[in-house]
Amino acid sequence: MKDTFVTYIRSLQDSITKALEQEDGKALFHEDHWKRPEGGGGRTRVIQNGNVFEKGGVNISEVHGTLPESMQAYLGVQDSNFFACGLSLVLHPTNPFVPTVHANWRYFELYDKAGNISAQWFGGGQDLTPYYLFEEDNVHFHQVCKSVCDRHGPTLYANYKKQCDAYFYNAHRGEARGIGGLFFDHLKVTQAKSMDDWYRFVSDVGDSFLQAYLPIVKKRKDLPYSEAKKTWQEIRRGRYVEFNLVHDKGTLFGLRTNGRIESILMSLPPTVQWRYDHHPEPGSEEEKLVHVLKTPRDWA
């Protein structure tokens, strides 16, 4: 399974970066290959200062070795080796009417002292972080997510949408990071699903990403905007940074397993503001967004 999924994410990285370069029309992805001293490595691709994308990354990694004690305690295992691979992407557009997007699809294996697989699972998802509320965009994104889930089970979308709302939540702010999407973790063998079944589901979600996101980009990328709207985007980006540094499990895993710092933190936007005690104007489009972030909705 790990060989199958590694082959998949390498191909997916190629198809996504090619489509994003075509959409941007100016900037190209810069590629770095890196090695992890303890085992494994990755291929980082970053785009910057384009016509559409101010900064973005589409990264794959394949790492293995002894699981650090902190992660053993977190996962409830002892004396375990691990293998982890995945694709992670974040795109921060220039235009504040185009939402930031994040996606991740990953696979883990844990091994006992004899080298046998003791646990294996998939995880991942995709979620949208708008700065201005275009309800039809949110419906489109969620409807793509739901359509994929419905091909693999009638309850998957409702479950993983709920998990996404719960996970991408800045508890210290009392608000969601964005309008959600899908989030799933520890997809293991059950009576109903084999690992092959879960692979087909996760790869189907990965294949749906461009369909979910690019139509929104095309619709909003050329809308005119003011400096005030750019300022609002940078203030909201501050909340994005807070989540990634305070709550995000992927960031935590990367830092605790001696991952490549530049690749782990590529998710951070290039320009950001923290205004003291900032509140949007009552009745404004900005306040409308904040209200939705405090009260998750069923978009599909």
- Residues 92 and 101: their CA atoms lie apart, in Å, by 7
* Catalytic residue list: 102
- Residues 184 and 161: their CA atoms lie apart, in Å, by 9
- Residues 184 and 72: their CA atoms lie apart, in Å, by 21
One-letter amino acid at 62 equals E
In terms of residues, how long is the chain?
300
Burial 111-137 (b: 16+ CB within 10 A, else e): beeeeeeebbbbbbbbbbbbbbbbeeb
What's 120-135 look like in SS3?
A: EEEEEEEEEECCCCCH
Distances (CA, A) of 74 to 78, 80, 154, 249: 10, 12, 31, 11
